[in-house]
Structures are given as C-alpha cells and as structure tokens.
Structure 1
Amino acid sequence: MNMTRITPFRQITRMYQAVLDIQHSLSQFAVSAQRKNEHQQADIDSLDARIARLESTCRQLMEMVEQQPHAVERPSFVPVPPFTRTSEPGEFMPFSTCSVADFYHPRLLEICAMLNHHFVFHRKLWEWVFVIHHLLESGKVKPGARGLVFGVGSERLPALFAKLGAQIVATDAPEDIGESKGWKATGQHSATLSQIRYEDIVDGSLFDERVSYETCDMNHIPDHLRDFDFNWSSCCFEHLGNLEAGKQFVINAVEKCLRVGGVAVHTTEFNLTSDDDTLESGQTVLYRRRDLLDLVGRLRSRGHDVRPFVVAPDSHPLDFHVDAPPYKSIPHLKLAYEKYVVTSAGVVVTRGR
C-alpha cells in the first residue's frame, strides 16, 4: 500500500490549512480597512469565493469518510475462548486492577457460566467477576447469609447470590439522583426488583423470596442497613462528589453495615496515567494508586484486614489497548477519559472490630 497516497483525511488537513492561510490574509486586510480601495475589495471577493469552494470540498470529503468507514478503520483481532494453555493456571486475580491475564484464567469462564453471561474482554465483566471471586473465596456467601449491594443498576449478582442461598438487600440511588446523573437513561439505575430479576440464573419465586429492594444515598447510608455478612458495589463510589467522599463510603460500608468478620468488596475507577494529577471532584473522580493506598492504610489503622492493593503488570498486547470515544466496547479494559487512561480497580476488606 502506498502510504503517501492522498487520503480524505490528508485532503481535509490541506483544506483546513488553506482556510487558515486565507483567514490570515483577510486579517491583514482588516488592519488597513479604512484604506481599502477597489483593488483590495476585488481581492477580498476572490478570497471569499475560494473559501466557499474549500468549504464545499470539505463537506464532500467528510461525506466520503462517513459513507466509507472501512477506509479509515483498521480491522482488529480479539481472541475468544477456548484458549490454548501451555501451562497450569496460576492464582486467579492476584492483583487489584483489571488485567488481560485474568480473562485467560479458566476460573473467569466458570464464573461467567454461573452468571449466564457471555465472555467479553470488558472491564465491567472483570468487576463483577472480581466481586464474585473474592466473596466466594471468603466463604461468606452461603445459605442464610445476608448480603447488601450499593448502586445495583442492572447487575446479575443479586440473582446469583440468591441462588446460592443468601438473603440480599439490593439498593440504588433515589430516583431523582439516578435521573439527574443520567444513570437511568443509560440503564445503570434500577428502581424495582423486576429490573434485576434474572430467571435464567434463579427461579423467579426464589428470587422474590430472597431479594429485596430499597433506595440508598451512598453518602448517607441509613442506620437500619447493618449486620450484613458481606456487601459490594461495582464502580459506584467514584460518583459521590469527591475522592474523600468515596473513601468515607467504603469505611462506612465496612463499619456501619458489616458484622465483625464480614467482607466488603468494592470496585472503582483507577487512574493509570498519573499518581499526582487526577480528577479530584465532580460527577466522576479518578482514584490514583496513592489514594487507594491511603484508603487501605486508614482501614488497617481502624483494625480491619485489607487485601494488599497491587497494580497488575501489563503482560499481554491487549493490556496496551486503550479504548477511546466513541467507545467500541471490545476490548474495553482501559479507556481514555479526558486526559487520563483509566481502568477498574478493587479493594477487599474484612471487618476486624
């Protein structure tokens, strides 16, 4: 392929530069506007005509690009199961951040089957599997146990845990908050049990018997949500206003809602770009490594056991893929958010006192 051929993008770039040159020329005429003569006016009219032709050409080129996306998009290859194994699998999810290696582990496919969810290289699936794996490993999900979820959205996890015998209280933000933040419009907010009843996982009558629903403002957890054996949230506490509000939520979810020995698993947005610069407040904040290490330290100082927070190494080519707007979804393990590269991270806490 001749890499120097004139592509539509290259033509648009040249057109844009030509427009800039013309605008510069016009600005020079404006400086001496009071001394314009007939010759200058003729030049201006000529330049106006050139601009009109260039704008028309740009519109035509943009239409060409929109009608022929294959001309500017490169095909990609994303592996799918079953994966060829050359050695025995090691520990599953040994790190705290989303990693391609976790998707190649056979345990992830087993949990996908439990959720009746298809395999996909997507960080949201990683978050759900992270929560399920660590809660199952803790031994807290069992018949008669009580579980609490914050910001449930359309998750399948309450149905799975109900199938395993647990009693689940599913909560989401009050409807006005879900509406104002756009979660309702994008299917990330639930207002009724029917929105999280997955009868392909558990019988509907059993689900209704074991799962209840109520609203909960995560910045103001009501006093009656207490004495649970486990709780969780999937990428919620970064939406509470600022970094500190999210940290305080995790502390409250442990100390206010869990019995001693209970386990909390919470995932959030993780800033891979910088351990200094980040989004500290607003509708979405991005936690740096130092922020999550601070949270771990504070929880430990309060007497709780916290799994070490360790960033996963980038060991596979897909680890270096960064999805950018408009997000293509597959693979969607890292994404560009404003000027940062972001992925998912999780903390696992056992209440100690």
Structure 2
Amino acid sequence: MRRIEQFSMHGDSMSASNAYLVTALVSAYNAATFLRPCLDDLLTQTLYKKKLLEIIVIDSGSLENEGVIVAEYQKSFQHIRYLRTERETVYGAWNRGIGIAQGTYITNANTDDAHRYDALELLAAALNKYPDADIAYAHCAFTNRPNDTFPSSNSYLDCLFPPFNSALGMFYCLLGPHTVWRRTLFSKIGAFDSSFAGAGDYDFQMRFIQAGLQAVLVPEILSLFYQNPSGLSLSSNRTIIESREIEAKYRVLIPIDRLYSVDPTNAQSVADAWVEQGNLALTWECAWEKNPPKDIAYAFQCYRKALEVQPGHYPAVRNLIMCLAVQGKWQACDYFVARYPQYIDLAEACARQNILTLISGNATPRICSHLVFTDSLTTASLQEQPINPLSLTEHRNNLGRAFSHIQKAINAINARELDIAFDELENSCSYVEGDAELQLAIGILMLGLGKPYDAQELLLRAYTKNPETEGLRTCLNYIGDRAKGTATNSIPQSLLDMALHIFGDLEYRAVELPTAIAPQLLAGAKAAHNNNLDEALAQYGKALEQVATSNHFARPLQDKFSFIHSIITSSEPEALSPVSISTFSNAVLSDVSRLCRQEDFETYEYAELCRELDIPQDHYERKNWEYYFVAQALREENLLKDGKMGLGFGVGKEKMISYLARHGCAILATDLEPDSTGATAWIDSNQHSDSVRDLFLPGICDYETFASKVQFAYVNMNRIPEELQREEFDFTWSCCAFEHVGSIELGKQFILNQMKCLKPGGIAVHTTEFNLSSDVLTVETGPTVIFRKCDIEEIAESLRKDGHEILLNYDVGGGELDRYVDIPPFLSAPDKRHLRLLLGKFITTSIGLFIRKKV
C-alpha cells in the first residue's frame, strides 16, 4: 500500500530558526566514492559562500564510511548536518530530510551528479520572483562521468525541458532530476511516497498536476546528470513498472481542466481538450528522446472520453478509428463506423482499409499557463554578485529562447495548421512576460486566429501592468465590440499596423537586425493583408536569406514576422490540416484493472452491450458492469472474432457465453462438478450449469451457431486440469467467481494458475469482490471472500514476478451512485441501483482485473 507522509509546514519567510534560503538533501547509501566530490560541488555553490545553503546528508543504513567522511567535512565547514537511519528508499530519506530542513526552499543533490556553481541561487531566485510557483527547475546535460564538472567534455546530450506543461506531464517526468521545491509545497500535497523504489518523483509530479500547482523553468543548463548504468533510473524494471502504474492511476484521477484551460461545463471545449490530449499521446516528444513510444492505448482512452462528453464528436471518432487502423484492427474499425453512419468518409476509408491521418479538435484548447524565469544570468555575468536586473544582452538571450518555438510555428503556418501555430505563439510569449507592447502585438495576432478571449486574457494582464501602453485600450474595446456583435469580423488596419510597428521596433531594439530587410518585411505583411500569400512568402524569404548568417537571433524573429501573414489573411481560423503519424510502437490497446463506476454505465459501449444482451440500459447493476468490463477488454484487444479461443471459469448461466459465440469465438465454458463441496448452493439458486444446453440463452444468438462454438467441461478452479494448462487459449475470463473458491489465498493461486492456460501475449479478464471499507479487516475464508487492496497488490506483484503485465487503478468514481450503498435485502427492480453494497460489515463493489501474459 502506498504511503504519502504529511508534513506541517509554516510560511516561506526566513526566521531565526529558518536561516537558510535553500536546504540540499544528500541521500547516501554505499556512496562513499561519490560523497566527497558531491560535498565539494555543494560547497562551491554561491549560496553556500553567502551562508544561505544548508546541507543535510541522510545515510540510509549504508555499509560504507559516509559518516566518517561527513565528520571530516564538518570540522572545516559549517552548515553541514548528518543523519543516519535504517535502510530505506531514497524517497524515505528525502522525507526525513524535509522534516528537519531549515531552508525556505529544498532540493535534492544526487551523490554522483553535479551543479553549475550558481545553479541553486538561480533556482531560488526564480521562486523568489514567482510566488505562485512551488517548484523551480532547469535544463541539464547527460554525462557519462560521475561527479563531472562544468564546463564538461564528457556530456553528450543537452536535456532541454519545456516550460511546465501539465498535459505533457502525463507522459514523463518533465521537472528534471534537480528541482528546487518551495518548503510549503509539502503541506499542500504531502511528501514523497516512500514505497516507490525509483518513480516517486513521477508520482509527486502527478499529485502536483492534480492540485493545479505551478512550476517555473530556468532555461539554462544548470546541472550534469550522470547516466549511471547500475542506478535506479537505468537498471531497474521496477521503475518502469511503477511509472506505468502511476500513469494508469492519475490519467483517470486528473480532470481535463487541470491539463487545458477549458470550462469543464462546456461539452465542446472539454471534448476538444480530450482530443488534443489524445493527439499529444501520439505526437509527444521527450526532453531526451525525440521519438518516444506512441501511447496508443491512452490516446484511445482520450478519444473515448471526448465521445462520452460530446457524442458524435467527429475528430474523436476519426482519430479513434485511426488508432485501431494503424494496428490492423479493421473489424473494430467497422464497429465504430457502424455506430456513426453519418460519417461517410470514415466508412469509405475503412472499406478500403486506408489508414487515416490525425486531426485536431474543432477549437484547440490552450494548455494551462506556464512560467519561465527570465532573470537567469550566464556564468560569465554572475561572478559572485547578487542577482541583477535584466541587461540588454540578457533580454536578447530571452528573445532567442522565446523564438525557439517559432520554427515549428512557421512550419505549421505553411501547412495551414493554425491551431498548432497558436500554441507555439503562446509558448514564445511566455518568455517575454511583462512586456506590455509585445503582449499587445501578440494579442492582435490571437484575434486574427479567431481567439478573442485568449487575446483578452493576455491584454488584460498587460493593461494591469502598464495601462499607458498605446493601443491596449483600443484593442480591448474592439474585443468588447466583437462580443456585442457591433464590430466587423475583420481586424482594423490600424491594429495590424500597430502590431507590425511593435515587432519592428522590438527587432531594432533587442536584436539589431540589418535595416535593409525592413522593406521586405513591410511588403510581405501588406501582401499578406491583401491575401497575396505567394508574394508574402516571397518577401519573407528574401528577408530570411539576408539575415540567416548575419545575426544569431535574426532568423527566429523573422519567423515571428512571417507568422503575421497567415493570421491576417482570414477573419476566421482555418480548419486544421491532418498531421501524419509515421511511426508507432508495438503497444496495443488495452484496459487497466479498475473498480466498477457509474460513468461506465453511461458510455456508448455499455449501451451497445445492453442492446446485444437485452439488458435494460438504466439498470445500474454491477453484474452488468462485469459483463461490460470483460466485453470491452476483449473488444479492444480484437479478440471478438472467428478463430479466437476463450476459456471461462465458473460461468453458471451468465450471458457472456452466448455473446462470445455470437461474435465467433470458440469457447470452453466450465463450472464446478455437481458433487463438489459448495455446488449445492449454486444448483439450488439456478446458477449452475452442467451442459451446453444449460448455457444457451435465446435472443442473443441462434442455437445452431451457439452449439458449434461452445463446449462445456467440469472444472474445479482450485485444481485446473493439466490438459487446459498448455497455452492454447487466446483469453480467459470469469465474472465474480474466484471469490468463491474458499479463501483469499486460494483466489490468489487461481489467478496465477489460470495464466498457464493462455498463449503467450494472451489476455485474462476476471472480476471479483473488492473491499471499500478496509485494507486490514475483511472476510478471508468461506463461501464468499472479499479482496482488499493489499490482496490485489499482492496478486499483481506475483504476476509481475512471472513476467506478466497488470496495471491497477483504484479510482472510486465521482457519480452519485458511486456514493450510494445498497443494503439487504437486495431487490430486483427496473430502477435498481446496485454498484455498492453492504456485505456483513463491509461495503463492497466489483473490481475488474486485466492481465496480459508475458510473450
């Protein structure tokens, strides 16, 4: 069971007992070789020389002489503390250090990494400047040498992190390895989960996103990250498994309005955001890997979320079908084509088995805002001095960083992908926060993109900082007139001229472009305004040719000018062009193990299953959810078709047999021998089968088909016959059966044993009773047992040790029926509500397990 420690922290202000600006935590276990250079690295920090850095070494039961080394340093250097504990994870050690730290801010210092001498001062300065930010982080460089030093000849990859982006944070740990935390952050979201071995910082980032908090990027390489081949990050499969569990959990828990700036009550905006997140799952880039595996399963989940919010949302339908098509799952494509017959183009593409391209939502939402610290100084300019205001040179550096996004923007413009261009424009804008004139110019461009409310938000921020900026009031008035319907759709020429003037002035002030290119820039802008796109591109091209080699920051700023032309050619934003998906990983669509929740009953997939099984759709019965969980898992794995073999345990008289036969599966259905202990109760309640005829339910499929597809055998789930353990089945399943095998321990053994019946890569889908009341007390033996979370975790750990895959999510849901508990006697009625129930003294529900056998 995961453990998140809670801390009671006080404010950020320094006091007599809180005399340090930063506390650096050094977790040491058998790290004596690295400890001396690690301490030397921290002692050279500018903050230490100013007596503002505290160093705490936490020795986690090391077998080496770290304590002796620290004692030596303590004789010569103040502000170093030492704590020895029993063996624990690095996150447990950090938590101990956090509990005794005296710094306003706290950071971790890995024993084999290194910092630039001003790193901690710059990161602390970023948090000082941005009180709304709780974390500061920076770029780093990968090195193959432990305890490397700046400047490094051993670094081989500059790891450039993006400004904090909650949506992207759902894919990897983008806060980097050397973050600085505001001390009060731990009072907001708790400390690190000490039960993690290597992914605790990823879990912490997810909780950070879930809480809607903010981080600030210092866009400079401030540390060297040693790629230790035997370290936790690179050598442990457990870290990978933990990361996948974390993603599965928080992708369900974190609402979409934590990832995108959308109104959660606006179905269109929410659906667009889910589509955008799904697209990101297929196109995301990592700071250290340009082509990471595409997360098709998560993309599919996002598109389905969009359809739940707004049924028939075309981009979601199209992209969902594309996800299936790239995996060759054309039968599943046909299923969705049939559900949405209004989209003839999709039906035709699937009929020809043409793989579609990815498209965006109708109105791409903005990512949640991010911060970039623009006061950071170069190594040459700091030199032991306090942090100074921005100089002109530093401002130019920030412009260079701001326009690093513009090459992508201009590529998007040329492809008519204006929504992507808009995102890049926002990213670049964040680097020059506080420049009211530049914000005015960008606000005008946003108007041209058809984003008046985004423009208004930006312009209001600029207006509060500098209301005297010429043109701000004019632009805000124009937005108000548009909202009232009293303005024309086209942007007034005066505002466009103002944007050109601002960018031109900025260019001469900060970048010093050759004045010879000004005519081309103005000519290009005018040509674009007159809808002469070819002439505009030609003029911008001439300007680019002249400055490409003459000024380092000229070209990206020229791209900013080029950006203008597409925006002012149309009063309405153009439709987004398709983005081709060229490569996918071997990932397959699957589900995660999860609890029964109300939201599943309100999906189209559930409605479709109800139609096929002749179940009332408004009958909220957890038994029906179990059918849904099994059916959806098999459908998404493309197992509902001829040639696929399934093995069912404890089937009784369930409807799944007829359903699977209808879809062409060859089924071996099994049930307990009639003379076995416990069989009498099932026979008396008419929930036992002993022949194929007993299993048949008319109305789902005809008997001739059923009899040709289904066989029956007696099987005791505690003694699965050897002839069934020959890896012959594509899938196995059971619906609330293995809680009846006699005990929790026997249930665990059943899950492990039935894996032997599956082909390599096969799927096991089982549901059972789950204890919502306690992770300690439960019913452990008897006719019906109730599995706790700790029991499910133990099953999962055993499966993983055998090489199998299982992801777990314990989200209980947020619907009204997720909080309603049915009590005995349990009645059957048309309006039955039976998701949670009281069994003895425990509140229970169903949990579905989805397991993939190792290949």
TM-score by length of structure 1 reads 0.72
1:216 equivalent to 2:745? Answer: no
Report the Cα offset of residue 181 of structure 1.
4.9
- Correspondence 1:1-353 to 2 at 5 A: 86=267, 88=271, 90=305, 96-119=594-617, 120-177=619-676, 180-225=679-724, 226=726, 227-254=728-755, 256-306=756-806, 308-329=807-828, 330-353=832-855
Taking the aligned partners of 1:340 and 1:185, their CA distance within structure 2 comes to 26
Report the Cα offset of residue 198 of structure 1.
2.2
Is 2:735–2:768's contact at 8 Å kept on the other side of the alignment?
yes
Report the Cα offset of residue 267 of structure 1.
0.4
Report what 1:14 is aligned to. Answer: none
Cα distance, 1:314–1:250 mapped onto 2, change above 3 Å: same
- Of residues 173-182 and 292-301 in structure 1, the stretch that sits farther from structure 2 once superposed is 173-182
Report what 1:77 is aligned to. Answer: none
Secondary structure in 2 matching 1:177: coil
Taking the aligned partners of 2:675 and 2:779, their CA distance within structure 1 comes to 24
Report the Cα offset of residue 177 of structure 1.
3.1
Secondary structure in 1 matching 2:721: coil
Report the Cα offset of residue 352 of structure 1.
0.3
Unaligned 5+ segments in structure 2 are 1-265, 272-303, 309-590
**Counterpart of 2:730 in structure 1: which amino acid?**
D
Taking the aligned partners of 1:304 and 1:198, their CA distance within structure 2 comes to 34
Report the Cα offset of residue 179 of structure 1.
5.9
Cα distance, 1:86–1:281 mapped onto 2, change above 3 Å: same
Taking the aligned partners of 1:332 and 1:186, their CA distance within structure 2 comes to 20
Is 1:140–1:263's contact at 8 Å kept on the other side of the alignment?
no
Taking the aligned partners of 1:171 and 1:295, their CA distance within structure 2 comes to 23
Deviation per CA, 1:189-247, whole angstroms, max 9, x where unpaired?
11121222123111111111110111100000011124101010000111111111101
TM-score by length of structure 2 reads 0.30
**Counterpart of 1:107 in structure 2: which amino acid?**
E
Secondary structure in 1 matching 2:708: helix
Is 1:275–1:289's contact at 8 Å kept on the other side of the alignment?
yes
Is 2:649–2:671's contact at 8 Å kept on the other side of the alignment?
yes
More relative contact order in 1 or in 2 (CA 8 Å, sep 6+)? 1
Report what 1:6 is aligned to. Answer: none
Secondary structure in 1 matching 2:632: helix
Is 1:178–1:184's contact at 8 Å kept on the other side of the alignment?
no
Q: Which protein has the larger Cα radius of gyration, Structure 1 or Structure 2?
A: 2
Taking the aligned partners of 2:627 and 2:760, their CA distance within structure 1 comes to 24
Is 2:673–2:679's contact at 8 Å kept on the other side of the alignment?
no
Q: CA RMSD in A?
A: 1.9
Report the Cα offset of residue 136 of structure 1.
1.3
Taking the aligned partners of 2:814 and 2:765, their CA distance within structure 1 comes to 25
Report the Cα offset of residue 150 of structure 1.
0.4
Taking the aligned partners of 2:665 and 2:604, their CA distance within structure 1 comes to 25
Deviation per CA, 1:78-111, whole angstroms, max 9, x where unpaired?
xxxxxxx956561887660110111111211011
Taking the aligned partners of 2:592 and 2:711, their CA distance within structure 1 comes to 33
Is 1:178–1:189's contact at 8 Å kept on the other side of the alignment?
no
Cα distance, 1:342–1:265 mapped onto 2, change above 3 Å: same
Taking the aligned partners of 1:161 and 1:314, their CA distance within structure 2 comes to 29
Taking the aligned partners of 2:607 and 2:767, their CA distance within structure 1 comes to 20
Taking the aligned partners of 1:311 and 1:173, their CA distance within structure 2 comes to 31
Cα distance, 1:293–1:182 mapped onto 2, change above 3 Å: same
Taking the aligned partners of 2:792 and 2:813, their CA distance within structure 1 comes to 19
Cα distance, 1:103–1:155 mapped onto 2, change above 3 Å: same
Deviation per CA, 1:38-72, whole angstroms, max 9, x where unpaired?
xxxxxxxxxxxxxxxxxxxxxxxxxxxxxxxxxxx
Is 1:179–1:185's contact at 8 Å kept on the other side of the alignment?
no
Cα distance, 1:305–1:94 mapped onto 2, change above 3 Å: closer
Cα distance, 1:223–1:175 mapped onto 2, change above 3 Å: same
Secondary structure in 1 matching 2:681: coil
Taking the aligned partners of 1:181 and 1:286, their CA distance within structure 2 comes to 21
Is 1:140–1:262's contact at 8 Å kept on the other side of the alignment?
no
Secondary structure in 2 matching 1:128: helix
Taking the aligned partners of 1:95 and 1:220, their CA distance within structure 2 comes to 25
**Counterpart of 2:596 in structure 1: which amino acid?**
C
Report the Cα offset of residue 171 of structure 1.
0.5
Is 2:731–2:764's contact at 8 Å kept on the other side of the alignment?
yes
**Counterpart of 1:287 in structure 2: which amino acid?**
F
Secondary structure in 1 matching 2:595: coil
Unaligned 5+ segments in structure 1 are 1-84
Taking the aligned partners of 2:668 and 2:771, their CA distance within structure 1 comes to 31
Secondary structure in 1 matching 2:682: coil
